[in-house]
Amino acid sequence: MTTRSKSDWPRIRTRVQRGKTYWSIDCGMIDGKRVIYTRSSEKEAKPEAERLRRRHAKVGNDALRLNEDHLRDATRAIELSDGTRTLLECAEFMLLHGAGESGSITVRELYHQYFEDRIASHRAHKTMIDIRHRLGHFAEEHADVKANKITTRDLQTWLNQLGGGPTTKKNARTHFSGLFNFALNRQ
């Protein structure tokens, strides 16, 4: 078995697909999914791999879940809060107090709007079944609760009662994130 040094991570490989050459930056498995970035040249791939290496050394796997839009949003949110609150505190406040229309609708209404939006976005049939299964049960149990009153503690309690392994809970969290980001973005 060959041991790799940390400087070998992530792995850069040349790939050819349909006659076109590109470079993949393979970060390995993160939360059960393979994370791969692609660049059109080796000149672009090497600095990107180094940037990922530095970011990973500072923050770990969590850093790899964030895309550039997330990072820009996080930077702007920190600027807006003048550093007096964490992003988590800001998100929990928004979920608790809401703003605009999303603060006044029930979980059931929010779920139905989100589900319809996902259909209109032409999500895969399997994805829609997963959304219905994971979020549908939650929406039924919290049907008449105002969406802005749901806290991360409520979600965690529900996930703990759900049972299942880490992947099941991660998938449910992903759908919750989509649901509440939808609520925030439609204001």
- What confidence score (pLDDT) does residue 47 get? 93
Q: Which of 128, 122, 135, 131 is nearest to 162 (CA)?
A: 135
- What confidence score (pLDDT) does residue 1 get? 45
CATH number of 98-185: 1.10.150
Tell me how many degrees the CA angle 34-36-42 measures, rounded to the nearest 5: 155
- What confidence score (pLDDT) does residue 63 get? 66
Cβ-proximal residues to 106 (8 Å cutoff; 6+ apart), any chain: 143, 144, 145, 146, 147
Q: Which of 171, 44, 182 is nearest to 120 (CA)?
A: 182
Tell me how many degrees the CA angle 24-29-33 measures, rounded to the nearest 5: 95
- What confidence score (pLDDT) does residue 64 get? 67
- What confidence score (pLDDT) does residue 7 get? 58
User: 109, 153 in Cβ contact below 8 A?
Assistant: no
Q: Give 59-82 pLDDT, tens digit per residue.
A: 776 666 777 777 777 777 777 777
Taking 70 as the pLDDT cut, the residues of the chain under it are 1-7, 31, 61-64, 83, 95-103, 187
* Domain residue ranges in the chain: 6-65, 67-92, 98-185
